[in-house]
A and B are shown apart, each in its own frame.
Chain A
Amino acid sequence: MTPILDHLWIIVLLPLLGSAVNGLVGLSLGERWSKGAVNAVGVGSVALSFLCVCEAVREFAGLSADKIPVIHDYFTWMIAGSFRAGFALQVDQLTVVMLLVVTGVGLLVHIFSVGYMAHEGGYYRFFSYLNLFVFFMLNLVLGANLLVTFVGWEGVGLCSYLLIGFWFLKKSAADAGKKAFITTRIGDMGFTVGVLLVFATFKTVDYAAIFQTAGPYPVENHLGVITAICLLIFMGAVGKSAQLPLYVWLPDAMEGPTPVSALIHAATMVTAGVYIVARLNPLFARAPIAMLVVAIVGAVTAFYAATIGICQTDIKKVLAYSTVSQLGYMFLACGVGAYSAGIFHLMTHAFFKGLLFLASGSVIHAMGGEQDMLKMGGLRKKIPVTFWTMLIGTIAIAGVPPFAGFFSKDEILFAAWAGPYANKPLYLLGICAALITSFYMFRLIFLTFFGQPRFDEHHVHVHESPWSMLGPLCILALLSTVGGWFAAPTFFGGSDHFKDFLASVFAPAAALAPQVAEASHSLEVQFSMLAVLVGLIGLALAAWLYLGDLERPKRIAKSLGGLYTLVYNKYYVDEIYAALIVRPLLWISTDFLWHVVDEGMIDGTVNGTADVAQAAGSQVRKLQSGNARSYATWVIIGAVGFTALLLGLLGTRP
């Protein structure tokens, strides 16, 4: 009896209904009844969806292996020649993980928003957009073919734009929304070409059919068509998941409300890139060059973003660069063949990064809107719940056991060192990034919560947030603590439950991986110890610099001089992009295409035709002189000419 699994569309439809109701009648709902009505629709739809997901998971657990994946094709979307795409939803183990993350964390963020957005205008609009986002994200993860996934892909991009620019009257917010949309569009172009190439090669876009058709293809060690497909799809992932070089939109996206940052830019949308790479693992396994590219991009981004995070002073921007860095880890995992480790890190990251963002929202709410850490300090005693939950999140991200981040990050780094696609330089990048991550995260904690208050306590009344905001924080803190324990048995000789759960999804990739000797268990434990050590070093370094007065960091910054300025200004990437790409594009579109082509040529042609017609007319009308004799002259000229023509044509026949 699988009522939900048979009707998967319910899961998808509920948030859409919530969005539609709030969007269409939300204004009157909020005014005639109360905000509670808007909440009920907005939060309730996601809550119901979450319950359906739980039920679906329960049913899924009872299925035998041959019934997986569960695929339901609901209607034919388009048919063109031999191409058929239906609106099909599928559920397999990977989908289950993503569904739980999306609806679970989504529900918590919705509850948090009730408290956070309580005093904001456009309340109903916020929930409408947020529900719409959940709808599209569910489409993305439930899609059984690349097209439904792409619908979700584009839709979450749209919702991201809407939500980043939620306070659209503020120019920086509107600009940030545009920047996000346009930058991800560049990646989406690659994604689209990739989908086209998939159809051209495999004649289908359904995942099950693709993997079946791809069966006979061997592993490509050259730039073949499968490598091209993987690289193009990865280009889309680079845009959506904010990797080098398309990461520039994510820090600017912090202009949006904090729940948006938590849900979209930490837990769900940005993980879509990792999801699609993991979903297409049979194709990636056949393209080692693509996997290498993925791993390199991931590792370099992880390190690069971490370095920028050291110098940021805005609390949300630190978390934004941290997100970019952690996404780099996930791609590194996929690139070295440890797909389940990547998804595991996706899940734990959703927990602790979501927690960190929501907690930072709580801090900002407590500080009355202040986001600059240099203006905070000593908040530990004033907002204790926020402090403890944020501390738990920070320890989790630093990779200290027994919290969640340790297990997932450790697995990734070990796979980079000793897995089938091991790449020792990338491991070094990863471990250095881990050190820097721990450092800047604890810097954040010390700057915000410790030391003397660096603000005027008479003007800012620091108060703890309401329980609608603190509740989700506690739940996420709990998940950040226990969320990694799936993999705990590995330390005691058992096996990773999470990896076992996802084994059948990644079996095709595992089968094609190069065979290496199984690493010894003790080596693994040693590497784990190294990772923990690195985390603790970061903590110590941050404590030495930031626990106390801030003279030491200032001296070090001054002594580093130019290097510090470079990192502080985010390596001037935005300025470089503006000069190299934006300004030439603007020049081409304004000075060339607009003035020269549109005004000059096209308008010129149209106006010119009119001018020519008018000029011709003004000349021809002089023929109408009213002088009968000139008319007669013309008639006779015509007659003479005509006669000559006839003479010429008919000729004279002797």
Chain B
Amino acid sequence: MSIPISYYLALSAILFGLGVVAFVFKRNIITIFMAIELMLNAVNLAFVAFARAHNQLDGLVFVFFVIVVAAAEAAVGLAIVLALAHSRQSLNVDRVDLLKF
């Protein structure tokens, strides 16, 4: 028997929700970044599932782009983290509160 697409979509939703939870909870900046990557992956899964459902390849192209952009974002984000770590001597996101009122 074949797996209905909705199962994939449900899995995507679960992963996304877990990503949100991780984002809210974790204190280490790098871990928060990883939660973002998790969310992006969940979205990729949804795209691929839809591409299969509509029998079109546009979804896959989109996944391609998402991966590329995620990579670029990870690079820049980690560079920022490096700079932050140098200046703050800590990777705790709660210490980065200079924009406090």
Touch test A–B (CB under 8 Å): yes
List residues of chain A with CB under 8 Å of any chain B CB. Answer: 621-622, 624-629, 632-633, 636
Report chain A residues within 8 Å CB of B23. 632, 636
- Asked whether, in the complex, the Cβ of A625 is within 8 Å of the Cβ of B100, the reply is yes
Report Cα–Cα, A624/B96, bound state, in Å: 13
Question: Would B98 and A626 count as touching, CB distance under 8 A?
Answer: yes
Enumerate chain B residues within 8 angstroms of A636, measured Cβ to Cβ: 20, 23-24
CB distance from B86 to the nearest CB of A (A): 18
Q: How many A-B residue pairs have CB under 8 A?
A: 32
A625 neighbours in B (Cβ, 8 Å) = 97, 100-101
In the complex, which of the residues B94, B98, B99, B100 contacts A629, with contact meaning CB atoms closer than 8 Å? B94
With a cutoff of 8 Å between Cβ atoms, the chain A residues found around residue B24 in the complex are 629, 632-633, 636
Give the distance to chain B from A6, nearest Cβ to Cβ, in Å. Answer: 83
Contact B101 A628 (CB under 8 A): no
- Contact (A624, B94) CB under 8 Å given A629-B24, A632-B23, A633-B24: no
Question: In the complex, what residue of chain B is closest to A622 when comparing beta carbons?
Answer: B101
- Please pick, from A621, A629, A633, the residue contacting B101 in the complex, using a CB distance under 8 A: A621
B99 and A626 contacting across the interface, CB-CB below 8 Å: yes
Q: What is the CB-to-nearest-CB distance from B67 to chain A, in angstroms, rounded to a whole number?
A: 23
B100–A626 CB distance below 8 A: yes
Give Cα distance in the complex from A332 to B97, angstroms.
92
Nearest Cβ on chain A to B85's Cβ, whole angstroms: 15
Q: How far is the CA of A624 from the CA of B98 in the complex (A)?
A: 10
CA distance A624 to B100 in the complex (A): 6
Within 8 A of A (CB), among B14-73: 20, 23-24, 27, 32
Most buried by B among A621, A628, A633: A628
A382 and B76 alpha carbons, distance in the complex (Å): 114
Asked whether B93 lies within 8 Å of A624 as measured between CB atoms, the reply is no
**Can you list 30 A-B pairs, Cβ within 8 angstroms, ordered by A?**
A621-B101, A622-B101, A624-B99, A624-B100, A624-B101, A625-B97, A625-B100, A625-B101, A626-B96, A626-B97, A626-B98, A626-B99, A626-B100, A626-B101, A627-B93, A627-B94, A627-B97, A627-B100, A628-B32, A628-B93, A628-B94, A628-B96, A629-B24, A629-B27, A629-B94, A632-B23, A632-B24, A633-B24, A636-B20, A636-B24
Nearest opposing residue in chain B for A628, CB measure:
B93
- Known pairs A622-B101, A624-B99, A632-B24 / 13 extra A-B pairs, C-beta < 8 Å: A624-B100, A625-B97, A626-B99, A627-B93, A627-B94, A627-B97, A627-B100, A628-B32, A628-B94, A629-B24, A629-B93, A636-B20, A636-B23
With a CB–CB cut-off of 8 A, which chain B residues contact A626? 96-101
Contacts of A629 in B (CB 8 A): 24, 27, 93-94
Residues of B in contact with A, size category: 10 to 19
Contacts of B96 in A (CB 8 A): 626, 628
Which B residues from 79 to 101 make CB contacts under 8 A with A? 93-94, 96-101
Nearest CB of A to B14, in Å: 15
Q: Which residue of A lies closest to B23 (CB)?
A: A632
User: What CA separation (Å) do A628 and B28 show in the bound complex?
Assistant: 11
Kindly state the separation between the CA atoms of A631 and B38 in the bound complex, as whole angstroms. 19
**Chain A minimum-CB-distance residue to B35:** A632
A618's closest neighbor in chain B, by CB?
B101
Name the distance in Å between A497's Cβ and chain B's nearest Cβ.
96
Contacts of B32 in A (CB 8 A): 628
Measured CA separation A633–B24 after assembly (Å): 6
Q: In the complex, what residues of A have CB within 8 A of residue B100's CB?
A: 624-627
Q: In angstroms, how far is the closest chain A Cβ from the Cβ of B97? A: 3
CA distance A636 to B23 in the complex (A): 10
What residue of chain A has the Cβ atom nearest to residue B98's Cβ?
A: A626
A633 partner residues in chain B, CB cutoff 8 A: 24
Separation of A602 and B20 alpha carbons in the complex (Å)? 51
10 tightest A-B CB contacts, nearest first:
A626-B97, A626-B100, A621-B101, A626-B99, A624-B101, A628-B93, A632-B23, A636-B20, A632-B24, A625-B100
Closest partner residue, chain A, to B97 (CB atom):
A626
Query: Could you tell me the distance between the alpha carbons of A625 and B27 in the complex, rounded to whole angstroms?
Result: 16
Complex: how many Å from CA A628 to CA B29?
10
Residues in B whose Cβ lies below 8 Å from that of A632: 23-24
Q: Closest approach, in angstroms, between the C-beta of A642 and any C-beta of chain B?
A: 14
CB-CB < 8 A to A628: which residues of B? 32, 93-94, 96
Q: Which residues of A contact B93 (CB under 8 A)?
A: 627-629
Closest chain B CB from A634 CB (angstroms): 11
Please indicate the chain A residues that have their CB under 8 angstroms from the CB of B101 in the complex.
621-622, 624-626
* Least CB separation from B93: chain A residue: A628
Determine the residue in chain A with the shortest Cβ distance to B26: A629
Closest-CB distance, B58 to chain A (whole angstroms): 22
Nearest chain A CB to B64 CB, angstrom units: 25
| A626 to B100 alpha-carbon distance, docked (Å) | 4
Q: What is the bound-complex CA distance between A622 and B100, given in angstroms?
A: 8
Question: Shortest CB–CB separation between residue A619 and chain B, in angstroms?
Answer: 11
Min CB distance B25 to A, Å, is: 8
Chain B residues with Cβ under 8 A from A624's Cβ?
Answer: 99-101
Distance (Å) between the CB of B15 and the closest chain A CB?
A: 15
Min distance, Cβ A316 to any Cβ of chain B, angstroms: 75
- Chain A residue at smallest Cβ distance from B21: A636
A620 to B27, CA, bound (A): 25
Nearest CB of B to A321, in Å: 77
Shortest CB-to-CB span from B74 to chain A, Å, is 17
**Cα-based distance from A106 to B53 in the complex (angstroms):** 109
A629 to B100, CA, bound (A): 13
Cα–Cα, bound, A627→B100 (Å): 8
Residue of A nearest to B29 (CB): A628
Question: When chains A and B are docked, how far (Å) is the Cα of A627 from the Cα of B93?
Answer: 8
In Å, the complex CA distance between A621 and B23 comes to 24
